[in-house]
Amino acid sequence: MVVLYEGQSFSALRRRCQQNGSLFEDPLFPASDQSLFYQRNQIGHVTWKRPKELSSDPHLFVNGLSAHDLHQGRLGNCWFVAACSSLASIEALWHKVIPDWKDQEWNKEKPESYAGIFHFRFWRFGEWVDMVIDDRLPTLNGELIYCHSNDRNEFWSALVEKAYAKMCGCYEGLDGGNTADALVDFTGGVSEPMDLTENGYKEDEEKQSELFERVLKVHDRGGLISCSIRATTAADMEAKLACGLVKGHAYAVTDVRRVRLGHGLLAFFKSDKLNMIRMRNPWGEKEWNGAWSDSSEEWKKVSKSEREKMGVTVQDDGEFWMKFDDFIANFTDLILCRLINTSYLSFHKTWEEAVMWGSWRRHDDPLLNRAGGCSNNKHTFLQNPQYVFDVKKSEDEVLICLQQKDRRATLKEGRGENLAIGFDIHRVELNRTYRMHAIQQKVGGSIYINSRSVFLRIDLTEGRYAIIPTTFNPDLEGDFLLRIFTDVPSDCKELILDEPPQTCWSGLCGYPSLVTQVHVLQADGLAAQDSDGVSDPYVIIYCEGEKVRSLVHKNTCSPVFNTKGLFYRKKANRPICIEIYNHNVLKDSFMGQVTLPAEQGKIQKTLHLKGKGDRRDNDLPGTITLAIESSSVLTSI
């Protein structure tokens, strides 16, 4: 679904201008200093000109769209230009950002169709937003001040930049930003920032090889990639290194591939290949001058046809190739923006996506407060919004992205600083449907940072998990978007209720007076049930008509169930029953059971499995280790 920004319809506005014979002037983003700066003019006298005043033959595109079309102007927005360069290399993506581009192009045969209006689309907070602009562009001494193309007749980059500036409040809103955010805005994907100085990437060749496979996969599947060399001081910003690279500067990755070495048939049959990566400097100049740079002798090892296929040029156009291990050695930060494929018709991996919108809101009542801050705030942490999702495989790779509503556009009102946000993941009971009021087993979490989004890729075993998105400090308010990607549907939902609701039947049927957690850890030495001497066991916990069942554990007589169940009990004196079965194709076979006494408090014990009383196998071998927790009366929540 596409949403119109402030209700501005491109087709209706253009039609009105064409009928009136006038050129569009955008009242929401006027040709004045307020569209350029937050407070004061820092450039001088700016003249706004339309492309027809700057060129006798203006076009959106000249000879197609290319990463070479972009040159950073007088803004510190290399992050945005780098993202545009990545976008330009993938046609299917820029068609989304620049919709109906042929219809928007200048038409010499129909000059009356020109109305000085364009529109572009960006993905913001879970939806595509259609952004209308007029084509008046800021100039100084007859030259474009900001982003511009190699060709003076080409204007797509300047117009896309203006639309993005409008969305961010003004052009100054683009001065210093996050490439990861821009990549998400262009794609609707999820960005994973990676620190190449951590996890041994610079020392471990095996990890470098694994990372190259990941980068190659993201590139081949249409994702966008950016990289940079971290500047640790203000003096380091945009400092040129001896190798030709620039610190504190965002580079667009425009190609990733394995390159054949050799010539002719030798190159075809020879197995020698190099892992290579191509980047572009948004300045359009200043390149890497080491091995495999444009004029390097190493290119003689590659056939002419291979060089042509790779687009190798010997000119200072800002684009250059590097060996991947040289890339790892020099760059410190990498951003992978994955396009999450949710189509069942695709040949590539299909993800299941869960999307949840939520808010952090202050309230004096602890049960209604939803702005508790991070886990450092022990008394308020669990007052934050809580969401549960299920991992239904024995192990699954899970992608989680938390995004806050961008505040840059509100800087003029003094509300423009992003909050420091993050999230924790806790393993909870398989049947949990009410909010947590006690900390459980933490299995992962993101960093806390004042960026627009945080991301985590984590491998989780089968079970139910709770995500708690928070601000770092308590009592801060804001809106957020939580996205969870799994291999199979995760059934994600928000935990809203604190306890089972009172109904008109509560007086007759009773209301839960005790909440009991049963945690079945593992079983040791189960009797083999299959012909190969193993079993496929699973466990079921029964309590007052409710049950929780674990995943089937394949080929084992000593399963680690790690299964939790939570029961709201009306009859605290009734025992809890735990049964173990072996999974078979036709009928599952009973392996044994344990009956727990109605105890309160915390106990952990090892019990022997027993068969059911009416079974002949009354004393099956094996033990089960249990951890049982019983809490106090619910009214104390």
* Separation between Cα atoms, residue 370 and residue 496, nearest integer Å: 11
pLDDT of res. 39: 78
**pTM metric for this prediction:** 0.86
Asked if 351 and 341 touch (Cβ cutoff 8 Å), the reply is yes
Of residues 270 and 36, more confidence is placed in 36
pLDDT of res. 409: 65
pLDDT of res. 240: 87
Residue 408 — very low, low, confident or very high, per pLDDT cuts 50/70/90? low
User: Is the pLDDT reported for residue 253 higher than 70?
Assistant: yes
Catalytic residue among 71, 77, 78, 553: 78
The average pLDDT across 411-428 equals: 82
pLDDT of res. 618: 44
Please tell me which of 277-286, 421-430, 514-523 the model is most confident about, judged by mean pLDDT.
421-430
pLDDT of res. 92: 85
Task: Among 255-269, 274-288, 356-370, 556-570, name the one with the lowest average pLDDT.
Answer: 255-269
78 is known as an active-site residue: yes
User: Is the pLDDT reported for residue 28 higher than 90?
Assistant: yes
User: Is the pLDDT reported for residue 315 higher than 80?
Assistant: no
348 is known as an active-site residue: no
User: Is the pLDDT reported for residue 630 higher than 60?
Assistant: no
Of residues 275 and 616, more confidence is placed in 275
User: Is the pLDDT reported for residue 284 higher than 70?
Assistant: no
Catalytic residue among 178, 281, 341, 582: 281
The average pLDDT across 492-501 equals: 94
DSSP designation for 570: S
pLDDT of res. 345: 60
Helices 156-167 and 78-88: angle between axes, nearest 10 degrees: 130
pLDDT per residue as tens digits for the range 88-110: 888 888 899 999 998 999 988 88
What is the DSSP secondary-structure string of 356-419?
EEEEE---SSTTT-----STTSTTTGGGS-EEEEEEEEEEEEEEEEEEEPP-GGGGGGT--PPP
Of residues 51 and 508, more confidence is placed in 51
* Separation between Cα atoms, residue 412 and residue 416, nearest integer Å: 8
pLDDT of res. 635: 46
Catalytic residue among 148, 249, 519, 553: 249
User: Is the pLDDT reported for residue 161 higher than 90?
Assistant: yes
281 is known as an active-site residue: yes
Residue 264 — very low, low, confident or very high, per pLDDT cuts 50/70/90? low
User: Is the pLDDT reported for residue 440 higher than 50?
Assistant: yes
User: Is the pLDDT reported for residue 260 higher than 90?
Assistant: no
The average pLDDT across 138-162 equals: 91
Please tell me which of 41-55, 353-367, 521-535 the model is most confident about, judged by mean pLDDT.
353-367
User: Is the pLDDT reported for residue 396 higher than 90?
Assistant: yes
* Separation between Cα atoms, residue 203 and residue 196, nearest integer Å: 10
pLDDT of res. 632: 45
pLDDT per residue as tens digits for the range 553-595: 999 988 888 898 999 988 878 888 999 999 998 889 998 888 8
User: Is the pLDDT reported for residue 623 higher than 90?
Assistant: no
Q: Chain-wide mean pLDDT for the chain?
A: 86
pLDDT of res. 188: 92
* Separation between Cα atoms, residue 37 and residue 557, nearest integer Å: 69
The average pLDDT across 49-75 equals: 84
pLDDT cut 70: percent of the chain above it:
88
Of residues 74 and 336, more confidence is placed in 336
| Order of strands, sheet of 537-543, starting from the edge strand that comes earlier in the sequence | 546-549, 537-543, 576-582, 589-596
Task: Among 126-135, 415-424, 570-579, 595-604, name the one with the lowest average pLDDT.
Answer: 595-604
The average pLDDT across 325-330 equals: 95
The closest of 71, 61, 29, 80 to 184, measured between CA atoms, is 80
Residue 457 — very low, low, confident or very high, per pLDDT cuts 50/70/90? very high
Identity at 12, one-letter amino acid code: A
pLDDT of res. 480: 97
What is the DSSP secondary-structure string of 405-468?
PP-GGGGGGT--PPPPEEEEEEEE-TT--S---S--EEEEE---BSSSEEEEEEEEEEEEEEEE
User: Is the pLDDT reported for residue 602 higher than 70?
Assistant: no
State how far the alpha carbon of 412 is from the alpha carbons of 34, 39, 168, 260, 427, in Å.
10, 8, 11, 54, 42
User: Is the pLDDT reported for residue 269 higher than 60?
Assistant: no
pLDDT of res. 617: 44
User: Is the pLDDT reported for residue 195 higher than 80?
Assistant: yes
User: Is the pLDDT reported for residue 603 higher than 60?
Assistant: no
Q: Give the largest CA-CA distance in the chain.
A: 97
pLDDT of res. 636: 45
User: Is the pLDDT reported for residue 418 higher than 90?
Assistant: no
* Separation between Cα atoms, residue 350 and residue 201, nearest integer Å: 28
The average pLDDT across 149-176 equals: 90
The average pLDDT across 25-42 equals: 90
pLDDT of res. 311: 74
Residue 614 — very low, low, confident or very high, per pLDDT cuts 50/70/90? very low
Residue 111 — very low, low, confident or very high, per pLDDT cuts 50/70/90? confident
Residue 484 — very low, low, confident or very high, per pLDDT cuts 50/70/90? very high
Identity at 155, one-letter amino acid code: F
pLDDT of res. 607: 66
Helices 179-187 and 78-88: angle between axes, nearest 10 degrees: 40
Residue 613 — very low, low, confident or very high, per pLDDT cuts 50/70/90? very low
